[in-house]
Structure 1
Amino acid sequence: MPRVGRVKLDLIIKNANVLTLNDERPQARAVGVWNGRIVGLDDDISELPAARIVDAAGATVTPGFHDVHNHMAAFGQQLQEIDASGFTSADQLYDAVAAAAAAEPGREWITGSGYDQTRIGGHPVRTKLDAASGGRKVMFIHRTSHMLVASTAVFEAVGALSPSFPVPSGGLIERDGDGSPTGLVAEQAMTAFRDLRKPFSEADLIQALGLAGDRYLAEGLTSVAEAGIGASPLVGSSPVELAAYQAGHEAGRIRLRTQLMVAMENFHSVVTAAADDYHLGLDLGIRTGLGDDRLSVGPLKVFTDGALMSRTASMTENFCGHDHAGVMQFGPEELRDLTVQAHRGGWQLAVHAIGDHAVDVALDVIEAALSSRHRPDPRHRIEHASVVRPDQLERFVALGIIPSPQGRFVYEIGDGVAEVIGEQRLPWTYRHRSFLDAGLVVPGGSDRPVVQGAPLPAMQAMVERRTSSGRAFNLHEGVSALEALKSYTVDSAYASREEHSKGRIRERFHADLVLLDQDPTAVPTEQIGATLVLATLVGGVAEHDPQGIFAG
């Protein structure tokens, strides 16, 4: 840190309502920045010169927001294709396909994502996609990313028109009574379909990541965690996807901090010394923690089940109105071996588990991993942790597991989830308050593009606990506005093992800051989501500044 009178600060922000989220000094009026770091507050910097002094005119400054679970590449790709998330009928989707076909007669592929069968009256149908597209290859990814629908040309390219086509365990290709595919494909069966468009080129990925990053910065996000890179039927865009992130950072196209979870399918046998006591991993011994404060390797992403909206989450009892209880994508023994090996190899685990049966399996395999070798502070996580019974909550605490839910789910998909969960299981669904009361850290994540990913509307959803129809959804799980803000700052930094450098405004921390037009912890709850992001700073540099507040 600079000495008084010897170094000129790069920036001082004054006349601000600074929410530091540092319990020792929770509020301030001024922040000093030097060499990308916070150097002090208020009187600490009052006598120091600065290259630039910005008068915030009473605006609120918070630590930059951190999303611990998003799909950045997928979101960037979605920004360049048909966005079906707002469609309320299947005809709207077919019309969009027809318009795309008419606009580019020579186009081979028409792609889109974000459709919700509960909003448009069912899944799109293969033959109607054929008619709308003029026989082109058409593929739409469901909003959960756990299902897709495709046209006949896609099924022909895969070789899956015939009912004799082999469907992998944990997958589904829906067929009519005569064996013809309806167009719907789910879970592990998606691999062959999605592989038709993979791997995406490095240039295409950098373009997508840059577009996504620009949107994130405009929403106050200064760092995100990508929830799965590499070869995978559900996530990942290329077996060499990390190279696109590295090149994007080097070219200045990715301007916020990124942590990358590695999808479990990329693990393979590795040769190690007998004393190392693990045999699965990545080449060169790459593991959680490699990288720097701009780009780093995060947890290993492990999959168990599907999703609630696709009715593929693995439950202990059937979904309401259905004769099944979802699916497991991998068997317990395979998951146990993988997680034990990853834990022994030094990885943090991020285990996707949505249904309560999947949560049982996730708890079991993490417990097995922890028992296999003592490691200080491994911070293993269960991603989503959507349906958690009271007995399971006790195991979270006993094992020191971090639940990683998505607060925005309540608002956007809560109505559909309540319908298939039923009254008995509803109180266990999308917990937050009960996690906090149990002493657990609850980070903020979006799972974007499954739902809208802007942090401030998500914080409002965490507090209000109401669906888009206005229905109360477990009001007892609501949190305060300050607790919601901590989820996207302090708690997210902890879950990503970065609590010593971000998540708070304090000396030596990264100068990752958001300037807001109002204090989200002080306004009426219904106004939190409407809070405007005036500027976003990463390492003291204004990466989003539409009004030119930090120009000059």
Structure 2
Amino acid sequence: MDGHGTDQPVCPAREVVHEVGDAVLLRGVRVGSEGAVADVRLADGRIAAIEEPGAGAEGAEVFEGGTLLPGLVDGHAHLLQWAQFRRRIDLSGAASADAAAQLMTAGPPDGELLLGAGFTDGLWPDSPHKSTLDVVVGDQPAVLLSRDLHTLWCNSPALRLLGRDHPSGVFVEDECMRITAELPRPALMVTDKWVLEATEAAATRGVTAISDYEFTDTVADWTRRLEIRPPGTRVRCVLARYLLEQAIERGHRTGMPIAELLTVGPYKLFVDGSLNTRTAFCLERYPGTESTGELVTPPDELEPLVHRAVTAGITPALHAIGDAATRIALDAFERCGSGGRIEHAQLVAEADLARFARLGVTASVQPGHCPDDRDVAERYWAGRTAHAYPYAALHRAGARLEFSSDAPVAPLDPWDAIASAVTRTDDERPPWHPEQCLPLPVALAAAAGGRTAIREGDPADLVLTSVDPAELDPRGLREIPIRATFLAGVPSYRAEG
């Protein structure tokens, strides 16, 4: 498997107790990649001391050896969809609509809704259509979600179940997201446990914080989940567009604590669609068409919303994939006199690179998408791929880079993002536009939410790897063993043995 599969292990439910005060001693650890060896003491949620090797344990829990790094952050994930995706039929290997339909027969033939996820139809020789599913699946309702989350494909029984009539059964962009939110799912207690398990699985890969971009009231969802048990990571509750006024009425501001491990996240707005659906809004037309993509939120709607959020202390996070959409997003920030976040920035005009740093706009990027999308990009952004996924160019221009997975679009594993950013490939092919490869230290910082060092007094959100990442090849980076993850100085994960 190339690191982008979906067969992630489902962690058994466990109680995570987050208490400060119990000391931990990390004995003889390398402090940072290629750093010096020292003893590191954690207490009261912080890095209490970095000492010469040989410190006494003095009753502390001891971890021996390894490389200590800042805790990793997934700055953009859809946690409910990721939790469900881990239990859906995997369509990532389907090379055609017919092949995807055939994979759906792997589901239980019991009349319940069949759910598949992960298809990419941009290179298919045929198009998804309800009739294709009807022939293969029969009377059982079936719903298939694309890897980029922008296309939903239903058969006729599923359309009837959802109370909709549609000529093709294929929904994109806003319709896709609305229907996805309406899909039948198990009881809340069940899905809440699935989501908590997903955060615990993330902790096994060194993740200490996740921004949840689910298109729901994430504040209410996560407050409810705390009644079951704390998550395995910190969670930033991202605000959906339709909840802005409610969030302002609640007095929510980005970064504000809600409860233990929960804070208010940014405010998500869509400027355009996606590459795979050819709805990313671009400066040039898609080959063989008159279309430049879809502008989901035009400037006259976007800018008042950005201004409203900023004046309320809420950071806007603007989904922009095409170069025209990215420019519109930057224009909105400039006219509102604010910084913020651009989510994805997959195609950026050269003239716009320096604007990220000048305006204080974070480039929230998903390096795992780069090798996944290279073939689709070569077809639909032909002649422009030198400006696609331009991580090194953004870094050279001074932009703040933060990594994420956009799970379930890519697995919620930051090492996949790190390896993809450093190598620009995930198979036997040479790097795609190697001039855009990032140095490992830059990638590690971007995967840690911008945190670059381990210092006394800093929060003890940390990951202890078995080996120094600098010693590993790309495959080794993707599979790096994690010895322990610490959340406020308390182990949220520890390897067995």
Alignment partners' CA distance in 2, 1:286 and 1:490: 22
1:398 is paired with a residue whose SS is: helix
- The residue number in structure 2 matching 1:168 is none
Alignment partners' CA distance in 1, 2:395 and 2:354: 12
2:226 is paired with a residue whose SS is: helix
Equivalent residue letter for 2:413: A
- The residue number in structure 1 matching 2:42 is 33
- The residue number in structure 2 matching 1:519 is 468
Equivalent residue letter for 2:174: Q
- The residue number in structure 2 matching 1:174 is none
* 519 and 390 in structure 1: CA distance in 2 versus 1, 3 angstrom threshold: same
Task: Say which of 1, 11, 18 aligns to 2:31.
Answer: 18
- The residue number in structure 1 matching 2:138 is 134
Structure 1 residue 534 displacement after superposition: 2.5
* 299 and 44 in structure 1: CA distance in 2 versus 1, 3 angstrom threshold: farther
Alignment partners' CA distance in 2, 1:183 and 1:487: 39
Alignment partners' CA distance in 1, 2:436 and 2:177: 37
CA displacement 1:361-408 (0-9 Å, x = unmatched): 1011111221xxxxxxx6411111111111111322321211111111
Task: Say which of 277, 286, 292 aligns to 1:319.
Answer: 286
Structure 1 residue 315 displacement after superposition: 0.6
- The residue number in structure 2 matching 1:154 is 158
- The residue number in structure 1 matching 2:78 is 71
Matched, 1:460 2:419: yes
Equivalent pair of 1:138/1:150 in contact (CA under 8 Å): yes
- The residue number in structure 2 matching 1:289 is 255
Q: Which moved more, 1:284-293 or 1:335-344?
A: 284-293
Alignment partners' CA distance in 1, 2:351 and 2:21: 56
Equivalent residue letter for 1:454: D
Alignment partners' CA distance in 1, 2:186 and 2:353: 40
1:40 is paired with a residue whose SS is: strand
CA displacement 1:43-65 (0-9 Å, x = unmatched): 49935723222322xx2221211
* 529 and 191 in structure 1: CA distance in 2 versus 1, 3 angstrom threshold: closer
CA displacement 1:247-295 (0-9 Å, x = unmatched): 3234325121111211112224x7xxxxxxxxxx532222212215611
CA displacement 1:222-259 (0-9 Å, x = unmatched): 111112x4xxxxxx2x4x44223123234325121111
- The residue number in structure 2 matching 1:257 is 234
2:485 is paired with a residue whose SS is: strand
Alignment partners' CA distance in 2, 1:529 and 1:71: 21
Q: Which moved more, 1:92-101 or 1:306-315?
A: 92-101
Aligned pairs for 1:194-343 within 5 A:
194-197=180-183, 202-227=188-213, 229=214, 236=215, 238=216, 240-268=217-245, 282-291=248-257, 294-343=261-310
Structure 1 residue 479 displacement after superposition: 1.3
Equivalent pair of 1:68/1:224 in contact (CA under 8 Å): yes
- The residue number in structure 2 matching 1:434 is 393
Which TM-score applies when normalising by structure 2?
0.88
1:287 is paired with a residue whose SS is: coil
Alignment partners' CA distance in 2, 1:221 and 1:442: 17
Paired residues in the alignment total 477
Equivalent pair of 2:25/2:57 in contact (CA under 8 Å): no
CA displacement 1:288-307 (0-9 Å, x = unmatched): 12215611011111111011
Equivalent pair of 1:459/1:484 in contact (CA under 8 Å): yes
Equivalent pair of 1:515/1:533 in contact (CA under 8 Å): yes
Equivalent pair of 1:60/1:516 in contact (CA under 8 Å): yes
Q: In structure 1, list runs of 5 or more residues that go unmatched.
A: 1-6, 163-180, 230-235, 271-280, 371-377, 494-502
Structure 1 residue 146 displacement after superposition: 0.8
* 47 and 459 in structure 1: CA distance in 2 versus 1, 3 angstrom threshold: same
Alignment partners' CA distance in 2, 1:428 and 1:187: 24
Matched, 1:384 2:333: no
Q: Which moved more, 1:129-138 or 1:31-40?
A: 129-138
Alignment partners' CA distance in 2, 1:383 and 1:148: 21
2:160 is paired with a residue whose SS is: helix
Equivalent residue letter for 1:77: Q
- The residue number in structure 2 matching 1:496 is none
2:448 is paired with a residue whose SS is: helix
- The residue number in structure 2 matching 1:497 is none
Alignment partners' CA distance in 2, 1:341 and 1:200: 36
1:130 is paired with a residue whose SS is: helix
Alignment partners' CA distance in 2, 1:397 and 1:546: 39
Matched, 1:449 2:426: no
Among the aligned pairs, what percent are the same residue? 26
Equivalent pair of 1:414/1:467 in contact (CA under 8 Å): no
Matched, 1:188 2:174: yes
1:442 is paired with a residue whose SS is: strand
Structure 1 residue 467 displacement after superposition: 5.6
Alignment partners' CA distance in 1, 2:410 and 2:127: 18
Equivalent residue letter for 1:517: S
CA displacement 1:443-468 (0-9 Å, x = unmatched): 11111111233211221111112364
Equivalent residue letter for 2:367: G
Larger radius of gyration: 1
Alignment partners' CA distance in 2, 1:293 and 1:202: 21
- The residue number in structure 1 matching 2:12 is none
Equivalent pair of 1:8/1:49 in contact (CA under 8 Å): no
Equivalent residue letter for 1:97: M
* 193 and 444 in structure 1: CA distance in 2 versus 1, 3 angstrom threshold: closer
* 535 and 326 in structure 1: CA distance in 2 versus 1, 3 angstrom threshold: same
* 192 and 297 in structure 1: CA distance in 2 versus 1, 3 angstrom threshold: closer
Structure 1 residue 118 displacement after superposition: 4.1
- The residue number in structure 1 matching 2:492 is 543
Equivalent pair of 1:517/1:532 in contact (CA under 8 Å): yes
- The residue number in structure 2 matching 1:166 is none
1:508 is paired with a residue whose SS is: coil
Equivalent residue letter for 1:343: V
- The residue number in structure 1 matching 2:8 is none
Equivalent pair of 1:17/1:29 in contact (CA under 8 Å): yes
Alignment partners' CA distance in 1, 2:375 and 2:106: 31
Equivalent pair of 1:481/1:525 in contact (CA under 8 Å): no
Alignment partners' CA distance in 2, 1:411 and 1:50: 47
Which TM-score applies when normalising by structure 1?
0.80
Equivalent pair of 1:537/1:543 in contact (CA under 8 Å): yes
Alignment partners' CA distance in 1, 2:461 and 2:100: 40
Matched, 1:483 2:435: no
* 464 and 191 in structure 1: CA distance in 2 versus 1, 3 angstrom threshold: closer
Aligned pairs for 1:117-132 within 5 A:
117-118=121-122, 121-132=125-136
Alignment partners' CA distance in 2, 1:488 and 1:531: 14
